[in-house]
Amino acid sequence: MSKALLNHVRVRGIKTIVPDRFIDIDDEIEYFGNNVRQLERAKKMVGFGRRPVVPEGVTVVDLCERAASDLLGELGTDRGGIDALILVNQSPDYIFPASSYILHDRLGLGEECAVFDVGLGCSGYVYGLWLAHSLIASGASTRVLLVAGDAASTHADPRNRLYYPLFGDAASATLLEHEPGDNPAWFALGARGAGWDKIVAPAGGRRLPIRKDMCDVEVRDAAGNVWHPWDGIIRGMDVFNFTMEVAPANIRELLLFAGIGMEEIDFFALHQANRQIVEAIAAKTGIPKEKTTWETFSRYGNNSTTSVATVLCDQRDARPKLGRCLLSAFGVGLSWGAAVVGLEGCHNGGIGLLAAPAGLPAREDQVEGWIRHFKGEKR
């Protein structure tokens, strides 16, 4: 497991944005056979509630732009002083260029700013913090804007009840700066590439490009869930067993590495996979119930890449001072990571809503525009 102690970095602020369109599980009772008892059982066990979902035409970049703009405005930050932009994202606008370059343009950041994407899911926010801390601690950067987001709802058919009800769409922005004083952060990261196919979207990349031969492919499993070749597939029991194996051990190993006791952590922000998983990790690790939560999942769903950031922002009213936090995430890759970060004095911008912009181009207009572009005409 990769471990690091990184110092002289301050987390200035954090902000999360979700679309203002929500789906409530109570409105999907038909998928539970119109059985109220079955629906209530699922709500109690899994933690289903409501989840934000992007409308057609709104992407992760739109959410990220709003999160970053709001945060920088709330902090009064000079955008010209940002010398690195990291975007953690597995729902890109295009195969290339990386979405971070579109975001760089929209935010009006300077040309001296280093810009790159990190293609990672549920553990992505912790990995992103590790990267941002590493850049600043090494002296390579002094002010890093870390943006993380996913539109995970777009990776499934609404009729797929194994996948679709779990995920909500969101993006977060976190600003980190050089801190002359002592402010250590500890990280412990791991990977199991042998499990890459446990959470996978088979089609859409270069290994299996989307072609006419698969456009009409629609598979129904024994339970009636609908799948397409480009949808996300999760081997649920395999992922659960993996999580129970690595997440508690990762947390314990990190605390041992940092020389910090459980009682010295003010809040544990655990990836909101679902209620059952969060509670199982907390119980196996010995985390006091009052120091963690699964309820962010009930309010916003599993936000994938930015789930941990959503948990932190969701605590704005309950915990005005976040203090020393332990962050834990796990998932696609397979990957996992945990961090102990001091968030004393960190601005918590909470969770804001993004309304769909007016005048979004229709899909057919976008297609026609790119056809003109291929011909060398004005798009």
| pLDDT of amino acid 35 | 87
Give yes or no for a contact between 98 and 117, defined as CB atoms under 8 angstroms apart. yes
Q: In this structure, is residue 205 part of a structural domain?
A: no
The tokens describing 375, both together, are 């011909």
Give yes or no for a contact between 167 and 236, defined as CB atoms under 8 angstroms apart. no
- Whether 89 is catalytic is no
SS3 245: helix
- Which candidate in 113, 122, 313, 325 is catalytic? 122
Give yes or no for a contact between 12 and 81, defined as CB atoms under 8 angstroms apart. no
Which H or E element spans position 255?
Answer: helix 236-258
Amino acid at 363: R
SS3 114: strand
| Strand 170-178 with 9-19, pairing | antiparallel
Q: In this structure, is residue 371 part of a structural domain?
A: no
Give yes or no for a contact between 36 and 69, defined as CB atoms under 8 angstroms apart. no
Could you tell me which of 168, 108, 100, 132 has the C-alpha nearest to residue 6? Answer: 132
CATH number at residue 171: 3.40.47.10
| pLDDT of amino acid 268 | 98
Exposure string (b/e) for 145-183, b if CB count within 10 Å is 16 or more?
A: bbbbbbbbbbbbeeebbebbbbbbbbbbbbbbbbbeeeb
DSSP 198: G
Q: In this structure, is residue 222 part of a structural domain?
A: no
Spatial separation of the C-alpha atoms in residues 91 and 89, rounded to whole Å: 6
Which residue do the tokens 């952590």 mark?
265
Which residue do the tokens 């690091």 mark?
4
- Which candidate in 89, 250, 271, 346 is catalytic? 271
Report the DSSP beta bridge partners of residue 327: 269, 339
Q: In this structure, is residue 372 part of a structural domain?
A: no
- Which candidate in 302, 303, 346, 348 is catalytic? 302
Q: Return all residues near 201 (Cβ < 8 A) that are at least 6 apart.
A: 155, 230, 231, 232, 233
Which residue do the tokens 């959503």 mark?
310
| pLDDT of amino acid 30 | 86
Q: Return all residues near 256 (Cβ < 8 A) that are at least 6 apart.
A: none
Could you tell me which of 14, 19, 88 has the C-alpha nearest to residue 355? Answer: 19
| pLDDT of amino acid 141 | 97
Q: In this structure, is residue 227 part of a structural domain?
A: no
- Whether 346 is catalytic is no
- Whether 302 is catalytic is yes
Number of domains in the chain: 1
Q: In this structure, is residue 361 part of a structural domain?
A: no
Supply the pTM of this predicted model. 0.94
Spatial separation of the C-alpha atoms in residues 215 and 228, rounded to whole Å: 8
Give yes or no for a contact between 166 and 237, defined as CB atoms under 8 angstroms apart. no
Domain with 161, as residue range(s), is 2-193+237-354
Average pLDDT for consecutive 10-residue bins of the chain (379 residues)?
94 98 92 87 91 95 98 96 97 95 98 97 97 97 98 90 91 97 96 96 91 91 89 91 97 97 96 95 95 96 97 93 96 97 96 91 89 88
Give the length of the chain.
Answer: 379
Spatial separation of the C-alpha atoms in residues 312 and 310, rounded to whole Å: 5
Q: In this structure, is residue 220 part of a structural domain?
A: no
| pLDDT of amino acid 21 | 96
Q: In this structure, is residue 330 part of a structural domain?
A: yes
| pLDDT of amino acid 162 | 83
Spatial separation of the C-alpha atoms in residues 266 and 325, rounded to whole Å: 6
